[in-house]
């Protein structure tokens, strides 16, 4: 079972490496959106520090959204999705593999880039640390929940916009606890509670969201 999930992850990572432009464009989107704020707001360190958690988290949500439509669309187009549905393993496992691969090429790089971008907002060291940690814990939830939306809008015309409308509201809890963790540290409180809740959302995203996703995929291919 583990071997099967690993095979899916390995396949998706290899495909992502062959098509680096897809991965890189989401990351550059993140970098540029985040960098626009200091330029637009001007050199007001106090204000920028306040804005930082929200801006970085919202930009991370949007960058994730950008990469979601391709999660299943390529597999649908070339027929590999049918083969995945016919694999003897439960489809949920396939989806878990795809969610993990999506996180590795999207969520993980976003989290690793965040501390560098946070410097533009004059975030203190512990703020940067919490920001990175909150993104590391929270982005798996984004991939998992996003997969449901990606499966539901599979094969629908104009699916990109519909996907955002479906998924962004579901991202609100992740956004609140993620940005909240960084805010808590900035005001001198502990961020443990926020991070624990993020962890719970991430576990839900990776282990529970794949099952409704699997059901949506079956309907999409019906």
Site of interaction with another protein (CB under 8 A): 4, 7-8, 11, 14-15, 18-19, 77-80, 82-90, 94, 221-222
Displacement of CA 13 from its chain's centroid (Å):
16
Eight-class DSSP state of 105: I
* Cα–Cα distance, 134 to 174 (Å, whole number): 10
To the nearest whole angstrom, how small is the minimum distance from the Cβ of residue 107 to another protein? Answer: 22
Q: Which is nearer to another protein, 92 or 178 (CB)?
A: 92
To the nearest whole angstrom, how small is the minimum distance from the Cβ of residue 18 to another protein? Answer: 4
Name the H helices within 19-90. 20-41, 45-67, 70-78, 80-85
Strands (E) in the chain, as ranges, are none
Q: Which is nearer to another protein, 88 or 169 (CB)?
A: 88
To the nearest whole angstrom, how small is the minimum distance from the Cβ of residue 134 to another protein? Answer: 34
* Cα–Cα distance, 165 to 151 (Å, whole number): 14
Q: Which is nearer to another protein, 85 or 203 (CB)?
A: 85
Displacement of CA 1 from its chain's centroid (Å):
24
Q: How far is CA 29 from CA 22, 56, 61, 205, 210, in A?
A: 11, 12, 11, 24, 27
Eight-class DSSP state of 121: G
To the nearest whole angstrom, how small is the minimum distance from the Cβ of residue 86 to another protein? Answer: 5
* Cα–Cα distance, 160 to 67 (Å, whole number): 10
To the nearest whole angstrom, how small is the minimum distance from the Cβ of residue 76 to another protein? Answer: 9
Q: Which is nearer to another protein, 90 or 204 (CB)?
A: 90
Q: Which is nearer to another protein, 81 or 147 (CB)?
A: 81
To the nearest whole angstrom, how small is the minimum distance from the Cβ of residue 212 to another protein? Answer: 18
Residues listed for the chain: 222
To the nearest whole angstrom, how small is the minimum distance from the Cβ of residue 222 to another protein? Answer: 6
Q: Which is nearer to another protein, 14 or 116 (CB)?
A: 14
H/E segment holding residue 102: helix 91-102
Q: Which is nearer to another protein, 46 or 78 (CB)?
A: 78
* Cα–Cα distance, 191 to 201 (Å, whole number): 16
């Amino acid at each position: 079972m583990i071997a099967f999930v690993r095979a899916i992850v390995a396949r998706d990572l290899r495909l992502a490496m062959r098509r680096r432009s897809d991965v890189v464009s989401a990351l550059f989107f993140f970098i540029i959106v985040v960098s626009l704020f200091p330029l637009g707001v001007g050199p007001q360190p106090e204000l920028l520090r306040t804005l930082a958690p929200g801006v970085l988290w919202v930009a991370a949500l949007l960058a994730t959204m950008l990469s979601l439509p391709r999660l299943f669309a390529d597999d649908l187009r070339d027929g590999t999705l049918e083969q995945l549905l016919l694999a003897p393993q439960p489809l949920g496992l396939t989806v878990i593999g795809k969610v993990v691969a999506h996180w590795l090429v999207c969520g993980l790089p976003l989290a690793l880039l965040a501390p560098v971008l946070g410097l533009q907002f004059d975030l203190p060291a512990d703020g940067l640390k919490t920001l990175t940690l909150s993104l590391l814990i929270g982005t798996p939830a984004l991939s998992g929940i996003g997969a449901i939306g990606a499966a539901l809008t599979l094969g629908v015309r104009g699916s990109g916009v519909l996907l955002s409308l479906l998924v962004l509201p579901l991202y609100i809890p992740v956004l609140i606890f993620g940005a909240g963790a960084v805010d808590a540290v900035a005001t001198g409180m502990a961020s443990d509670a926020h991070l624990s809740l993020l962890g719970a959302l991430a576990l839900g995203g990776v282990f529970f969201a794949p099952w409704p996703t699997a059901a949506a995929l079956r309907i999409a291919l019906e």
